[in-house]
Amino acid sequence: LYITKLISEGETKFWTRDKGTEVRNKILSEFELSGESILVIDFTGVEIVDFSFASEVVAISVSRLAKELSGKHILIRGMNKSVEENVSVAIERAALCVLIYEDENAWKLIGKYSDALLTTFKLIKDLKKTDTPTLAEKLNSTIPVMNNRLRALTDLGLVIKEESSAPSGGKQYNYYCII
């Protein structure tokens, strides 16, 4: 885990897209240098963020998990009600979602996601390690449908995808929940 605290430099109120870009660039470059795979953005002590700041720091970072940050993951924690509302709107407007994780019993997704995606995520979390056929069977669905959901969850950085060799000699993928 690489944990970054937003208030580390003493500020508790964060405004504007420019400030968000500056903070995001700093966080992501330090995260990449750390070599860790999970970034925890800790909002503890932050009083307020506007939508533009939230969009730059959270929504754009999450969107990059499907591209240049592929294989990395993002968690959020420590948000007060107001900050959570603004981050939620920012990420929902970008048609993305992110995981808020406080502890094993206090986690939730915020943003835009379907019930089916949430159900699949919960099942992966319960199973610890799984694969497409298992999920399809347990959710009474098909492998193509499951593959689509797993691709979405992987692009959002909510699951870890690991390649292994199938008994038949081909490739197969196992999936782990990030929490």
Partner 1 sequence: LFFRVHNVLNRESFVDLSDHLQKNVDEIFNTNNIEVDLSDIRFSEPAGIVGLIIFTRFLYNEYGIKSIIKMPNNVEAHKYLLNAGITKDKGVITEFENINNSMYLQTILNKLGIAGNKTTSVNFIAVTDIVSEEDIKNVNKKFEDWMVDNNYSEEEKNDLQVLVSELCQNISQHSETVQNGVFLMQGYTYKSLGDEKRCIISIGDTGIGIKGSLDKKKKINEAARWEDDYTIRMVLKNGLSSKEDDQFRGNGFFNLQRLAKKHNLNFYIHSHGGLFYCEYSESKLSKKIQQTIYPIKGTQVSFELRTKKHK
> C-beta of 19: minimal distance to partner 1 in Å?
6
Nearer to partner 1, 93 or 161 (CB): 93
C-alpha–C-alpha distance, residues 166 and 173, integer Å:
9
CB 72 within 8 A of CB 35: no
Alpha-helical runs (H) found in the chain? 17-34, 51-54, 60-63, 81-93, 115-127, 132-138, 143-155
Phi first, then psi: give them for residue 61, nearest 5 degrees. -60, -45
CA–chain centroid gap for 140, Å, is 26
C-beta pairs of 111-117 under 8 Å, 24+ apart in sequence: 116/149, 117/149, 117/152, 117/153
Interactions with partner 1, residue window 73-92 (CB under 8 A): 81-82, 85-86, 89-90
Among 4, 7, 17, 123, binds partner 1 (CB under 8 A): 17
Among 1, 34, 47, 122, binds partner 1 (CB under 8 A): 47
> C-beta of 73: minimal distance to partner 1 in Å?
20
Binding of partner 1 at residue 48 (CB under 8 A)?
Answer: yes
Interactions with partner 1, residue window 100-159 (CB under 8 A): none
C-alpha–C-alpha distance, residues 43 and 110, integer Å:
15
> C-beta of 77: minimal distance to partner 1 in Å?
19
Binding of partner 1 at residue 44 (CB under 8 A)?
Answer: no
Among 3, 94, 123, 139, binds partner 1 (CB under 8 A): 94
Phi first, then psi: give them for residue 67, nearest 5 degrees. -125, -105
The contact set with partner 1 (CB under 8 A) reads 15-19, 47-52, 55-56, 59-60, 63, 81-82, 85-86, 89-90, 93-95
